[in-house]
Structure 1
Amino acid sequence: MGSLDHVDLELLNALTEDHRATVVALADRLGMSRNTVQARMAKLERSGVFLSYERAIAPRELGFPIEAMISVTVQQADLPRITEALARLPEVVQVHGLSGPVDLLVRTAARDTRHLFDVDARILAIEGVERTETSLVMGEVIGYRVRPLLEEARQEG
């Protein structure tokens, strides 16, 4: 189960239910002191449990309604430089490194299909990129979630 104990798991579960909860609200809900909750939150933050405090903003609300996943095959030796080049493209919202025949999965946002074609061309133009394959996102079926994992961890603990 890693280094998380029962109290940590309860705190994380409470945060999945109300991600905007204050330390005081979490303390009240869990029957703990504010200082205990604050100390636990600081420990969890230092240990890297929290991925980001950035608010997830819908690209469509910024004028980018087209979302696509671009599978990218690269020359392995160029991967760090390619990753840096991808980070400079504003339409690239997320990149995952993969094992298997595809090296990178690039999540992109675009204004329209012509813009998406342009984004794909800019990715292909990066030296060391060998091939791309683009798939339009039709809709999110299961969003990012950790609650089922928390439930599993709580049962094991």
Structure 2
Amino acid sequence: MSVSTEVLTRAPFELDQLERELNNMVGPHRPRGTVRPLSPMPDYVEHRNGVNEVGKLSAEAVVREYEAAVNEIEALGTELQEAATKCEAMVAGVHNVVAEIKEFAAGYRDQGKRYFLQIEAVSLMTTEVRNTCETLKKKIAAETLTK
């Protein structure tokens, strides 16, 4: 015997009892036309005395739509804040790298200056050696001619 046959063959039954039995067998469900449970109203609004049910429901629906939009706007703000934090971290990292690059460049410049000074020192020494050799050659040649 199927579940629907079993439920329908019981007599007498009430609609509420039937619904409870169905829920117990297949789990809770929302039949067509049933309004989904609403989220609580925001705490910054409350109904005024004398407003009829239609007015209350309409006002609640509108404020809930606004609240849903506000929640999305706030979520966007949170995402932007997270992006800004990441950007700030990236900028700080860039500043650190730029400082390292400047330090490296200064060291490289100093190394270039050292090589420059070494080359000029060797060049001066070479010129001095050449001059000394030239002077020595002339002296030797002069002594050879006088002998």
Instruction: Please report the TM-score for the alignment, with normalisation by the length of structure 1.
Output: 0.22
Between Structure 1 and Structure 2, which shows a larger proportion of strand residues? 1
In our comparison, the structure showing a higher alpha carbon Rg is: 2
Relative contact order (alpha carbons < 8 A, sep ≥ 6): 1 or 2 greater?
Answer: 1
Question: What TM-score, normalized to structure 2?
Answer: 0.23
Which structure is higher in helix share? Answer: 2
